[in-house]
Structure 1
Amino acid sequence: MNAAERLGDLRTLDWCESVEPAAFGEFGEPRPITQNSLDSCRITVTIGAENVTVNVGKLSKADELAIEDELVALSGDARVVETTPASGSGCGTAVVFADGIAAQSVAVPPSGDSRTAGQACDIARTGAEAIFDAVESGQIAHWEPPGPSLARLPACGILSDAKVSRLLNIEAGSMRLTPGEHHCEWGPARGTPPMAALDFEAAGESATGAGATGKTIGGRWSIVTPTTTGDVAICSVTTEHIPYANGTGGEHERAAIRVMLRIGEVTMDANRMQNSEEGKPDEGEGEQACGVARKLAAQAWPRLPKP
């Protein structure tokens, strides 16, 4: 069973329609909530006074997943596997199809709640089984993006691999595109710095985090947000696009560039960017990561469809 044949256009999958929230009814009260991705459906399952959030349907290449265990073999050479979520929290499972494409189900319980933490893995597995049932029964749904949507735009077609690699001071050729084409990444696998990513995603009402600033970059109003974790500097630059036609209400499509560098790491164009208005780094430990992120946004945003 090949995902590419059975799922149709991988860019427009409607997982909130394909996987009914009722599939999680045995655990509690399920309902879709504000969506944060063009590639999955975000559902909350209320168990007592706590909520477990499950994201269903995100596609990836199986060889890029951190697979922990083989859980069950399915028909058509498909299988369900246990995975370590990229975020490092919660429980992950995935349906791996014969062509090496995996559809993920990741459940995240509230921090510190041991009761729902124990159920999160069962919820994640139920999500994976619901994905397979929808595929096997031919119940996969799609949504129709409006003309200026980012949904049918390949994320790896916006920025030059050579230019991104030069800014990160890495060898060219590391560019990776997810099957749904909404995430493009450069650098070592699994989020090891130095790395950069361009995402087309969904987002609810924008909340400006600590240290975030708003400015016009590449002709579009953008939010620049620097953060640090240990010795790693992270910077994101986001710009809102049109309303998300497949959302639960109020979401917008959004383009986001994220850069991750070791603090003090030297990139190829660091000195050049210091003299560029678009690439001028923000102050603080993450200044170089923000310098790279702003430089990439200045190149990418003019290539996005006009809202």
Structure 2
Amino acid sequence: MGRSTAFAVLTAAVLVLAGCAVTPPAPTPPPSSPLTLREALGDPTTVDFCGLLDLPDLDSALPLESRPSPSMGSCSFRTKNALISFGFPEDRAKERLTGATPVAWQDLTRDLRVVRTDLEGQPLLHLVFTDDSSIRVGTFFTSPGSASEALAAATKTLEGAVRSLVAGKQAAHFDYRENSLARLEACSALWSDSDVSARLGTTVSGKGDLSRHRCLWGEQGADRLARLEFGLGPRPKAAANVQEETLGGRKSFVQEISGGCTVRTSHVEGPGANRNQVEHALLAVQAPNACDVARELANVAWPKLPA
């Protein structure tokens, strides 16, 4: 085949291929329908909130002092001067947000809204869905000069989540083991309201969050309250101010804190094999003789945990 013939054949092939080229489809517009929490997150008992973070954006803006750590129903990380927790609010009381301050938010669509509340001087930002359910970013800082850093971190955290959810990104989910604590209802699996009331010495009722992994008996800031949390974290161990005991047949770690007391016991490994986390049940009590009350409650509850 001569050069001119070969060139003609090659040119014809190129023209044929060009003529057969498929016009790329137009980009799919982002969803615009009103967004409920269930549509955004799916099963609230298994959501991995760390998967909704925009880590490069957070790193460049803050930066982070620790990598985000997932737990059941939340994700937490540290900046230089603040601890940030992203997840479900501690109870389902929608009336808490009735008087909240609306926050102007860029590119907020799908009938979502952002509001702010403050708890003991710490700012909390809430993303409220069309069914009035919400997720929140909480902050904790010890120096008044860190308030602006904490609010900036909370804002950046929520910005990344909003971008993902508005665009229709599906939240990641944990695949918990069959005997996981995540399969329990924190408000009803271990005690009744009357069990807790009898030991606190006041009538209380349990309020759980949407994940079902946390329950609060009493009101925040009250002199007498109990809180139970199922979560993920490093394996607990004894320390100078942490006492190892056997309660309810399980190795437990008791710590007295600011007039209150916590009792923690570990369970099976967490769902992420590379995270070096274990599940835990954490009981916190605020009351006179708080550690005595916490031990009593743990002795009742721990035998009911799955083997």
Q: Shorter-normalised TM-score: what interval?
A: 0.7 to 0.9
TM-score by length of 1: 0.76
CA distance in 2, matches of 1:26, 1:227: 35
The Cα RMSD (Å) is: 2.7
Q: Report if the CA contact (8 A) 1:39-1:180 is conserved.
A: yes
> How far did 1:12 drift?
0.8
Aligned residue in 2 for 1:179: 210
Q: Report if the CA contact (8 A) 2:37-2:131 is conserved.
A: yes
> How far did 1:216 drift?
1.1
More helix by share: 2
Q: 1:51 to 1:245 in 2, by over 3 A?
A: farther
CA distance in 2, matches of 1:247, 1:92: 32
Aligned residue in 2 for 1:43: 77
TM-score by length of 2: 0.76
> How far did 1:259 drift?
1.0
Structure 2 counterparts to residues 160-179 of structure 1, below 5 A: 160-171=192-203, 174-179=205-210
Corresponding residue SS for 2:135:
strand
CA distances 1:62-117 after superposition (whole Å, capped 9, x unpaired): 434696521037434321112224xx4653212122323221113445x4484x64
Aligned residue in 2 for 1:19: 53
Q: Report if the CA contact (8 A) 1:34-1:247 is conserved.
A: no
Corresponding residue SS for 1:164:
helix
Aligned residue in 2 for 1:290: 291
Unaligned runs of 5+ in 1: 264-287
> How far did 1:36 drift?
6.6
Structure 2 counterparts to residues 213-228 of structure 1, below 5 A: 213-228=243-258
Corresponding residue SS for 1:75:
coil
Q: Report if the CA contact (8 A) 2:235-2:266 is conserved.
A: no
CA distances 1:135-155 after superposition (whole Å, capped 9, x unpaired): 222321111111121122110
1:200 to 2:230 alignment = yes
Match for residue 280 of structure 2 among 254, 261, 286: 254
Unaligned runs of 5+ in 2: 1-34
CA distance in 1, matches of 2:193, 2:82: 38
CA distance in 1, matches of 2:48, 2:65: 15
Q: Report if the CA contact (8 A) 1:59-1:180 is conserved.
A: no
> How far did 1:183 drift?
0.7
1:126 to 2:156 alignment = yes
Q: Report if the CA contact (8 A) 2:48-2:173 is conserved.
A: yes
Letter in 2 for 1:257: L
> How far did 1:10 drift?
0.6
Aligned residue in 1 for 2:101: 69
CA distance in 2, matches of 1:257, 1:226: 12
Q: Report if the CA contact (8 A) 1:79-1:95 is conserved.
A: yes
Q: Report if the CA contact (8 A) 1:72-1:80 is conserved.
A: yes
CA distance in 2, matches of 1:234, 1:66: 31
Corresponding residue SS for 1:250:
coil
CA distance in 1, matches of 2:158, 2:295: 38
Letter in 2 for 1:41: C
CA distance in 1, matches of 2:166, 2:158: 12
More strand by share: 1
Aligned residue in 1 for 2:112: 78
Letter in 2 for 1:260: Q
Aligned residue in 2 for 1:270: none
Structure 2 counterparts to residues 272-291 of structure 1, below 5 A: 288-291=289-292
CA distance in 2, matches of 1:239, 1:108: 25
Corresponding residue SS for 2:71:
coil
Q: 1:63 to 1:32 in 2, by over 3 A?
A: farther
Q: 1:181 to 1:28 in 2, by over 3 A?
A: same
Q: Report if the CA contact (8 A) 2:89-2:136 is conserved.
A: yes
Match for residue 150 of structure 1 among 181, 190, 206: 181
Aligned length: 267
State which drifts further: 151-160 or 126-135.
Answer: 126-135
**Once the two structures are aligned, what percentage of the paired residues are identical?**
28
